[in-house]
């Protein structure tokens, strides 16, 4: 398992470095702009003058943008599930099926590594890679924060990263699971990414439409606290998200155990459709 | 299962949707043997090999590799097997040595690197080159090295010389024979008859997912059709020769020369010829290629 864990991290090295630098620079920039933005005269009034539908889409944080919690939520945690979601959905869908499609899995599977070790070695590598990207982002918020009056402790900065990590694992796991059922990794990443974006949009619209809330309260992003976790982390929600992520990973692992390994190329539908004899 | 048997396959079946790739394959390979698995594309060679490694799960039948069921204990089987896939793909962004080190990691880093370097030298393979810059033949060399590098007890090779030039083909034959001489069993598939003829101690022919023949190459040749040209001292009517069991009169030339096809024992024909004034005869032994094609005539008809 360790060989596969190490190999997965090595293969993701370029992406991890790229995403870490990109998000790290962005976070650092946002921190350094904090005191400038909150000190803009009439900024809160400007925000309040936005159409109420727009304000409600972004939740309460829009009106609290001059506070550390509101600022961090609006400029980072609100949409990071979508941004880093691009990474996790792509990596999740290609974690094993990508190698199957390019033909390398056939030979790897002929080595003395069990399917379980191969699967969990790669999944842990993926989880560790995601954690590294978030860790660099966290550092980029924490280190310069004191100098601009963003008075939060490193633990307070850490808290909202936990549900973000869990939600990313969840959608990565979903993409991985879908890749075992859909004809290609490409389709799995498209579907998982589409579901993530749909959930994001529904979640925002539900702030303005009470009827939608009945649906969104069962969807994953409802349990993503974002910047609110800075003041109080909802442990039950976090455990629920982690459990759901693990459930997707376990379902994918069970499917991988029983799966024929293709020689290469994209596959066909894995379902035995009743009307196709 | 006897300790002398490296591979045993009984009634192996596998379908891909409507396509019945294997329809009851039976095979037995002795330890220390080079076993050739001959068949055209799509006959079921690769599917059989992939079932042996638990890469795909058969629908029915029994498989034992070195006395172990690969579905029950795939890791132990794979630890003792070296595999070369028919369609070899590796990670383009690695160098040859990096790729081999990754494979070594998967084997628990128990590889003798002096031996790896020796194999690379024998195959004229530069380990500092990037995989993405290698030709198909050079990639195949990496595949051969990774299959041999842990000195496996069993080598499963799907078309091992694919893409190699004739000199390197000979080198691979030599490596496989050396492995056999060191006690390993080699099971390789091919559709190149000359390769099987040159290398195999025993050969099986697979057609449409069924083994249609299994024998030593020379035995196959002797069991097969032969063609005979008989020259008579004077013009005769050779028609009665065509009535002998296993003999077909193909043609005749003015009653002086008869062209016959003989299948199986020669005894009946020799006795029948005693009644004719024979001046000379020539017999053509078929090549393994002709035998192979004979098995596939029926397939074309189907």
Residue pLDDT, tens place only, A77-112? 988 999 999 999 999 999 999 999 988 999 999 999
In this prediction, residues B68-74 reach a mean pLDDT of 92
Residue A203 confidence class, pLDDT cut points 50, 70, 90: confident
Cross-chain residue pair B55–A110, CB shorter than 8 Å:
yes
Highest mean pLDDT (candidates A159-168, A265-274, B133-142, B160-169): A159-168
Percentage of chain A beyond pLDDT 90 is: 52
DSSP string, A54-117: HHHHTGGGGTTTTSHHHHHIIIIITTHHHHHHHHHHHHHHHTTHHHHHTT-HHHHTTSS--HHH
The reply to whether B229 and B215 lie within a common domain is no
**Residue B219: which of B284, B266, B301, B285 has the closest Cα?**
B285
pLDDT score of B301: 45
- Statement to judge: residues B60 and B202 lie in one domain: yes
What is the model's pLDDT at position A236? 92
- For B98, name the nearest residue in chain A, comparing CA atoms only: A7
Residue B86, pLDDT score = 86
Is the four-CA dihedral A33, A38, A43, A49 of positive or negative sign? positive
Rounded to an integer, the average pLDDT of A118-136 is: 96
pLDDT tens-digit series, residues B147-189: 999 999 999 999 888 888 888 888 889 899 999 999 999 999 8
Q: Looking at per-residue confidence, does A43 or B182 come out higher?
A: B182
Q: Which residue of A has its CA nearest to B80?
A: A112
Cα separation, B126 vs B146, whole angstroms? 14
B68, B98: one domain: no
Residue numbers in A near B91 (CB within 8 A): 11, 104
Verify whether the Cβ–Cβ distance B57 to A260 is below 8 Å: yes
Is the model's pLDDT at A277 over the cut of 50?
no
B301 CA: distance to closest CA in chain A (Å): 27
Based on the fold, state whether residues B157 and B120 are members of the same structural domain: no
Q: Which residues of A touch B74 (CB under 8 A)?
A: 114-115
Of the candidates B46, B87, B106, which has its C-beta nearest A111's C-beta? B106
The answer to the question of residue B147 being in a domain is no
Pair (B69, B204) in one structural domain: yes
Q: What is the pTM of this model?
A: 0.81
B105 interfacial to chain A (CB closer than 8 Å): yes
The reply to whether B50 and B73 lie within a common domain is: yes
Tens digit of each residue's pLDDT (9 = 90 or more) over A234-255: 999 999 999 999 999 999 999 9
How many domains are contained in chain B? Answer: 3
How many C-beta atoms lie closer than 10 Å to residue B123's C-beta? 20
A233 has a pLDDT exceeding 90: no
The answer to whether B163 touches B136, Cβ cutoff 8 Å, is: yes
Nearest chain A residue to B46 by CA distance is A263
Which uninterrupted H or E stretch holds A264?
none
User: Is the residue at B72 inside a domain?
Assistant: yes
Q: Which of B83, B89, B95 to mutate to test the interface with A (most CBs of A within 10 A)?
A: B89
- pLDDT of B224 reads 64
Nearest CB to A104 within list B57, B90, B156: B90
Task: Please report which confidence band the pLDDT of residue B296 belongs to, taking 50, 70 and 90 as the band edges.
Answer: low
With CB atoms and an 8 Å threshold, state whether A111 touches B78. yes
Tell me whether 0.85 is exceeded by the ipTM. Answer: no
- As given in the structure block, the two tokens for residue A204 are 């925002």
Query: How far apart are the CA of B259 and the nearest CA of chain A, in angstroms?
Result: 48
Task: Give chain B's largest Cα–Cα span.
Answer: 77
More confident residue, A232 or B218: A232
The model's pLDDT over A13-41, given as tens digits with 9 standing for 90+, comes to 999 999 999 999 999 998 888 888 777 77
Q: Show me where the domains of chain A are located.
A: 10-112+134-257
Structure confidence at residue B226 as a pLDDT band (50, 70, 90) = confident
B124 with B169, same domain: the answer is no
Q: Please state the separation of Cα A146 from the chain's center in Å.
A: 27
Please give the average per-residue pLDDT across B75-98, as a whole number: 91
Contact B75 A106 (CB under 8 A): no
Residues of B in contact with A108 (CB under 8 A): 106
Same domain, B46 and B182: yes
Say what percent of chain B tops pLDDT 70: 92
pLDDT higher than threshold 90 for residue A51 = no
Contacts with B53 from chain A: Cβ below 8 Å: 109-110
Least confident of A62-71, A172-181, B2-11: A62-71
Interchain pair A106, B87: CB under 8 A: yes
Range of the domain at B135: 90-139
Q: Are residues B72 and B106 in the same domain?
A: no
The answer to whether residues B61 and B164 belong to one domain is: yes
Q: Which long-range contacts (CB under 8 A, 24 or more apart) does A59-64 make?
A: A59/A204, A59/A207, A61/A226, A61/A227
Smallest Cα distance from B168 to chain A, Å:
22
């Amino acid at each position: 398992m360790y060989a596969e864990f190490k190999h997965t991290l090595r293969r993701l090295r370029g992406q991890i470095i790229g995403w870490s630098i990109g998000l790290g620079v962005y976070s650092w920039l946002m921190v350094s702009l904090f005191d400038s933005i909150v000190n803009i005269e009439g900024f809160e009034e400007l925000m309040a003058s936005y159409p109420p539908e727009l304000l409600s889409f972004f939740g309460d944080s829009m009106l609290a943008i001059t506070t550390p919690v509101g600022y961090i939520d609006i400029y980072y945690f609100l949409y990071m599930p979508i941004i880093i979601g691009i990474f996790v959905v792509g990596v999740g869908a290609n974690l094993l099926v990508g190698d199957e499609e390019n033909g390398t899995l056939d030979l790897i599977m002929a080595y003395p590594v069990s399917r379980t070790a191969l699967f969990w070695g790669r999944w842990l590598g993926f989880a560790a890679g995601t954690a590294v990207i978030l860790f660099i982002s966290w550092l980029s918020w924490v280190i310069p924060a004191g100098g601009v009056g963003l008075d939060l402790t490193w633990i307070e900065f850490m808290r909202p990263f936990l549900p973000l990590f869990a939600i990313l694992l969840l959608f990565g796991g979903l993409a991985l699971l879908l890749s075992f059922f859909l004809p290609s990794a490409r389709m799995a990443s498209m579907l998982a990414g589409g579901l993530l974006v749909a959930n994001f949009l529904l979640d925002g619209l539900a702030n303005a439409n009470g009827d939608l809330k009945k649906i969104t309260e069962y969807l994953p992003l409802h349990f993503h606290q974002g910047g609110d976790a800075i003041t109080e982390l909802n442990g039950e929600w976090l455990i629920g998200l982690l459990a759901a992520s693990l459930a997707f990973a376990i379902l994918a692992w069970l499917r991988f155990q029983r799966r024929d390994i293709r020689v290469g190329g994209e596959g066909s539908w894995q379902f035995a459709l009743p009307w196709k004899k | 299962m006897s300790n002398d048997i490296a591979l045993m396959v009984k009634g192996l079946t596998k379908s891909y949707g409507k396509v019945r790739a294997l329809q009851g394959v039976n095979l037995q390979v002795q330890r220390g043997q080079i076993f050739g698995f001959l068949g055209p594309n799509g006959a079921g060679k690769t599917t059989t090999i992939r079932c042996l490694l638990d890469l795909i799960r058969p629908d029915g039948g029994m498989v034992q590799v070195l006395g172990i069921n690969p579905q029950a204990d795939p890791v132990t089987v794979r630890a003792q097997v070296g595999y070369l896939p028919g369609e070899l793909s590796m990670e383009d962004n690695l160098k040859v040595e990096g790729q081999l080190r990754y494979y070594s990691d998967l084997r628990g880093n128990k590889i003798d690197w002096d031996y790896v370097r020796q194999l690379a030298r024998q195959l004229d393979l530069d380990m500092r080159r990037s995989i993405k810059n290698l030709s198909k033949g050079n990639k195949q060399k990496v595949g051969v090295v990774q299959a041999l590098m842990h000195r496996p007890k069993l080598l499963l090779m799907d078309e091992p010389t694919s893409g190699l030039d004739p000199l390197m083909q000979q080198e691979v034959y030599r490596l496989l024979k050396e492995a056999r001489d060191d006690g390993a069993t080699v099971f390789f598939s091919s559709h190149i008859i000359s390769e099987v003829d040159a290398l195999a101690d025993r050969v099986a022919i697979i057609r449409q997912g069924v083994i249609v023949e299994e024998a030593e190459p020379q035995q196959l040749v002797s069991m097969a059709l032969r063609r005979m040209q008989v020259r008579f001292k004077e013009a005769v009517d050779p028609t009665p020769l065509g009535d002998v069991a296993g003999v077909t009169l193909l043609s005749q030339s003015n009653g002086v020369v008869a062209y016959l096809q003989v299948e199986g024992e020669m005894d009946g024909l020799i006795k029948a010829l005693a009644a004719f004034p024979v001046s000379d005869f020539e017999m053509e032994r078929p090549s393994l290629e002709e035998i192979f094609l004979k098995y596939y005539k029926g397939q074309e008809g189907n």
